[in-house]
């Protein structure tokens, strides 16, 4: 096991054993990109560029073809790395490290008062991202919000029976629910990507759609979907409306 992965999981598990969920206690699973920070200002471009470069050098392709491969696998599997592992047998950790090899802090942009808004949310918080662990930690540290999260669940941890299973895998959602050891109705996924929210809802969790116009396919979903409990535009708005989620069970759309 990758040492960083081992540490993050141990931290998450250790906390779970130390602190049992109280009746009605909420656990917020936060996505990272375009949920806690705005990737449209440069990070997506940097990731796309670095990932196309990683595809090009791994498969010995010119950049235009590498870009096509990158987009094709992203559409088919929800993450380019899955296609690269499945069809070309690449080492996923090395590929993801190459894809996020840029100066992260200088490209991070977020809403003002993010720390205060997150801190106002009652309940525990865990990060759940399809991004690699090292990148996720850099973003959290740049935003100075790392201490608000009791654990980080990154793509490094998303393996089931030897296969990479990132969001929106239903099996992943069920594994997370089981590992957190609390009723699904007390777990809330906050995300900008609708298909991930749909999977969480199928696993019994509740859902908050963090609408971001730069999220791929977001323009096709102007309204709120049936599997979305609450739709917000910022963490600040979520903090102001969190009482709408502070009910037990999976009912209660707001």
Interface residue list for Mg ion (CB under 5 A):
31, 33-34, 192
Containing H/E element for 204? none
In the complex, residue closest to Mg ion by CB: 33
What's the rounded Cα separation, in Å, for the pair 79 and 70? 9
CB of 34 to Mg ion, least distance (A): 4
DSSP conformation letters of 150-179: SEEE-GGG-EETTEE--TT-HHHHHHHHHH
Cβ-based nearer residue to Mg ion, 91 or 225: 225
Helices and strands: H and E segment counts in the chain: 10, 8
Cβ-based nearer residue to Mg ion, 156 or 192: 192
What's the rounded Cα separation, in Å, for the pair 84 and 94? 11
CB of 35 to Mg ion, least distance (A): 5
Cβ-based nearer residue to Mg ion, 33 or 156: 33
Cβ-based nearer residue to Mg ion, 197 or 242: 197
Q: Around Cβ 222, how many Cβ atoms within 10 Å?
A: 7
CB of 20 to Mg ion, least distance (A): 30
**How large is the C-alpha radius of gyration of the chain?**
18
CB of 168 to Mg ion, least distance (A): 11
CB of 33 to Mg ion, least distance (A): 4
User: Residue 85 in contact with residue 92, Cβ under 8 Å?
Assistant: yes
Q: Around Cβ 199, how many Cβ atoms within 10 Å?
A: 23
Cβ-based nearer residue to Mg ion, 31 or 156: 31
């Amino acid at each position: 096991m990758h040492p960083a992965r081992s540490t993050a999981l141990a931290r998450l598990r250790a906390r779970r054993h130390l602190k049992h969920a109280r009746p009605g206690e909420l656990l917020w699973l936060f996505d990272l990109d375009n949920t806690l920070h705005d990737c449209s200002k440069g990070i997506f471009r940097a990731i796309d560029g670095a990932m196309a470069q990683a595809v090009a050098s791994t498969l010995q392709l010119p950049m235009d073809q590498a870009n096509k491969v990158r987009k094709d696998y992203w559409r088919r599997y929800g993450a380019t790395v899955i296609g690269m592992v499945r069809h070309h047998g690449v080492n996923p950790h090395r590929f993801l490290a190459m894809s996020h090899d840029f100066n992260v802090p200088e490209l991070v942009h977020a809403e003002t008062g993010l720390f205060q808004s997150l801190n106002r949310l009652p309940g525990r918080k865990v990060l759940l991202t399809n991004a690699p662990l090292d990148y996720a930690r850099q973003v959290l540290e740049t935003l100075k919000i790392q201490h608000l999260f009791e654990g980080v669940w990154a793509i490094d941890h998303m393996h089931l029976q030897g296969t990479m299973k990132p969001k929106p895998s239903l099996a992943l959602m069920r594994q997370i629910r089981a590992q957190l050891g609390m009723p699904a109705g007390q777990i809330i996924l906050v995300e900008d990507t609708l298909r991930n929210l749909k999977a969480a809802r199928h696993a019994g969790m509740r859902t908050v759609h963090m609408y971001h116009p730069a999220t791929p396919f977001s323009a096709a979903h102007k309204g709120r979907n049936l599997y979305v409990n609450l739709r917000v535009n910022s963490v600040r708005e979520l903090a102001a409306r969190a009482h709408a989620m502070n009910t037990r069970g999976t009912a209660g759309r707001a």
